[in-house]
Structure 1
Amino acid sequence: MKASGELSVGIVVASLGRARNVETLLDRLALQSRLPACVLLSLETPTDAPPERPYPFPLIALFGPRGSCQQRNRALDHLPADIDIVLFLDDDYVPSRRLVAGVARFFATHGDIDGASGRLLADGINGPGIAPRTAVQLVEAEDARGEEPQLSVSAPHPGLYGCNMAYRRASIGATRFDENLPLYGWQEDIDFGGRLAGRLVYTDAFYGVHCGEKAGRERNGRRLGYSQIANPWYLWRKGSMPTRFAYRLMLRSLAANTARVLRPEPWIDRKGRLTGNWLAVRDILVGRADPRRILEL
């Protein structure tokens, strides 16, 4: 039970095909200076779960259709009623031992803030990825400094970074992730935050490392490339993504895929992404762009 006046933190992890990453994350959560009130794993099948073992917090495993939006919604629908703060973590996120304490302290101090993402010591998403062992070393070194994290607050942002984003339960209410963004759900984090009325920020109050694990991510370059254009277009028309932000995302994806298509990174299918980009542009021009079309590619 939480102490009187203490904010409880529930953690949601949606995962697919990364049982080892999930195990690393759970091990790190078991070392927290303040334990989470509960951890919900939203998976497709039991094969996505690590081996069963006791943890010092309630662990709830949920199973159902794949898709980051569907899986996160499933967890929200099963969240215990006494949870005050919902912390969404990617399965390849490696947290500081003070993550949960930092989240609770931040929201207790800033009553006017509805959602926040913490500081990343490193992010492997745009590179070959960071090995979990290396990520653990990075957070342990930072924790060993012993400095109390600063409760800094950035300027308001249209959305948070999905690998680590915390929201007040009361601010979420009945809002759910848009399941019209299937599979990997490109930009679902920005859409979700954009539909909440409150103030969203970035802070140094809690931190960790995002490994950027490549296993389990969308490997069909055409699908991801289509999403890079169709999803911002859809969210802009829907009103949950600012115009400038949406167009910058689309143009940046087209530019990056075009510039690197002849010399692609080993972990990125640039040719497939560029093809998907132009398929989405074509669909926009003929009025049939829809994020769900990736299910046909």
Structure 2
Amino acid sequence: MTLEHTDAFEAVVICTRNRPEELEETLDSIAAHPPSTNLLLAVMDASDAETKAQVQSVVENFDVVPSVHWSYTDPPSLARQRNAALDRLPTAVEVVHFIDDDVTVHPGYFEALSAVLRTRPDVGGAGGLVLEPSKDAPSARNERLQSFFFLSHTEVFLSHTEDGRVLPSGCTTSAQQPTRHDTSGLCDTEWLNGCSSYRRSILDQHRFDEVLTGYSMLEDLDLSYRIHRQARLVVQPEARLTHRRSPSNRFGAERYNHALTVHRRWFIEKHFGDVTSRLAYWWSLVGRLLATTVSSAPPRPAARRGLLHGLQTVLTRNHPLLSD
């Protein structure tokens, strides 16, 4: 199906790679409670040849809203896939909802975010609450340690602890997670995760950074933090989805910790670059190293190897993101 003549003024964009079963479950969650807003669905697919036909079939069988399957043939990059999808959306689209291919969308999700962007002209982007069913809340002791090492809330640089902040270390405090003190109403934030919605006019000015390839770690943080400097970002707690966190095409502990160390360094150099943030970054690495050392989790040795490898990469700057 082509979308050139659709009158939809909002679009749901899903970028995927080799996850036909996960994508189908995500689309089933949308079909279970069809959105009342005038939506179209666009899937930008970077799957291997043997899997792409399955993904295309899943999209073609989804008839709840107008939908299209686009094949992405360049080397996989989440950031570039998202930009490619934006380039191909009809000009009538005014709001873009990005969601992952492994989430369950709760009833009213798109309507709640759409209402924010339709009624509040000062808001450039909005996100909902992202539920992680298997994720336990950190203990009070762990929260204090995270604060001490600038891995989470910190009162050293902030007058009081707040959600939705980007810390000098490049770490963040999320406003898109349910908290013990969850309240109704919009919550301001400095950043949004990858499952968020933006005005098309904002995305015409701010693109995903295409230096990020493959998994494109922190592409959502980088984009939203740039937008935050121009327009208001908010979280609407009435919009909810569950991240099922598919194990397919996901980094192991070693690769993940290496990438996180490097990409976070790239982020603070791009957005901060002052002495304070660089010191905070190194101090946060001390905290992460301590955490992996005392952790009882099975991937502890792999996580520590990845962190140490990332530290070596940052010191030698032997990575495309850190090249001068």
TM-score (norm 2): 0.70
CA 252–287 in structure 1, closer or farther in 2 if over 3 Å, else same: closer
Partner Cα separation in structure 1 for residue 277 and residue 128 of structure 2: 21
CA deviation vs aligned residue, 1:148-172 (integer Å, no higher than 9, x gap) = xx97221331x2011x211111111
Partner Cα separation in structure 2 for residue 176 and residue 74 of structure 1: 10
1:229: which partner in 2?
A: 261
CA deviation vs aligned residue, 1:132-184 (integer Å, no higher than 9, x gap) = xxxxxxxxxxxxxxxxxx97221331x2011x211111111143212222221
Does residue 57 of structure 1 match 2:65?
Answer: yes
CA 241–78 in structure 1, closer or farther in 2 if over 3 Å, else same: farther
Partner Cα separation in structure 2 for residue 83 and residue 32 of structure 1: 19
In structure 2, give the amino acid aligned to 1:272: A
CA deviation vs aligned residue, 1:247-284 (integer Å, no higher than 9, x gap) = 76775566346434576545xx4433322322222233
CA 105–176 in structure 1, closer or farther in 2 if over 3 Å, else same: same
Partner Cα separation in structure 1 for residue 16 and residue 293 of structure 2: 30
2:187 to 125, 150, 154: 154
Partner Cα separation in structure 2 for residue 228 and residue 35 of structure 1: 37
CA 237–54 in structure 1, closer or farther in 2 if over 3 Å, else same: closer
Partner Cα separation in structure 1 for residue 200 and residue 274 of structure 2: 24
1:114: which partner in 2?
A: 124
- Spell out structure 1 runs of 4+ moving beyond 4 A: 124-127, 240-254, 261-264
Partner Cα separation in structure 1 for residue 132 and residue 202 of structure 2: 28
In structure 2, give the amino acid aligned to 1:204: P
2:291: which partner in 1?
A: 259
Question: Percent identity among equivalent residues?
Answer: 21
Partner Cα separation in structure 1 for residue 246 and residue 278 of structure 2: 26
Conserved? CA contact 1:260–1:270, under 8 Å: yes
Count how many residue pairs are aligned between Structure 1 and Structure 2. 261
Partner Cα separation in structure 1 for residue 277 and residue 12 of structure 2: 28
CA 74–292 in structure 1, closer or farther in 2 if over 3 Å, else same: farther
Partner Cα separation in structure 2 for residue 98 and residue 243 of structure 1: 45
Structure 2 spans left out of the alignment, 5+ residues: 1-5, 137-182
1:43: which partner in 2?
A: 45
1:123: which partner in 2?
A: 132
1:18: which partner in 2?
A: 19
Rg larger in 1 or in 2?
2
CA 179–251 in structure 1, closer or farther in 2 if over 3 Å, else same: farther
Structure 1 residue matching 2:97: 3-state secondary structure: strand
Partner Cα separation in structure 1 for residue 97 and residue 274 of structure 2: 24
1:100: which partner in 2?
A: 110
2:98 to 75, 88, 96: 88
Conserved? CA contact 2:27–2:62, under 8 Å: no
Conserved? CA contact 2:127–2:236, under 8 Å: yes
Question: C-alpha displacement at 1:198, in angstroms?
Answer: 1.5
Conserved? CA contact 2:106–2:241, under 8 Å: yes
Q: Which moved more, 1:273-282 or 1:86-95?
A: 273-282
Conserved? CA contact 1:225–1:277, under 8 Å: yes
CA 237–78 in structure 1, closer or farther in 2 if over 3 Å, else same: same
Q: Which moved more, 1:15-24 or 1:240-249?
A: 240-249
Structure 1 spans left out of the alignment, 5+ residues: 128-149
Structure 1 residue matching 2:101: 3-state secondary structure: coil
In structure 1, give the amino acid aligned to 2:96: V
In structure 2, give the amino acid aligned to 1:281: L
CA 82–189 in structure 1, closer or farther in 2 if over 3 Å, else same: same
Conserved? CA contact 1:62–1:74, under 8 Å: no
1:211: which partner in 2?
A: 244
1:180: which partner in 2?
A: 211
Partner Cα separation in structure 2 for residue 215 and residue 109 of structure 1: 38
CA 70–282 in structure 1, closer or farther in 2 if over 3 Å, else same: same
Does residue 273 of structure 1 match 2:303?
Answer: yes
RMSD between aligned alpha carbons?
3.1
2:81: which partner in 1?
A: 71
TM-score (norm 1): 0.76
Conserved? CA contact 1:195–1:240, under 8 Å: no
Structure 1 residue matching 2:68: 3-state secondary structure: strand
Partner Cα separation in structure 1 for residue 28 and residue 105 of structure 2: 10
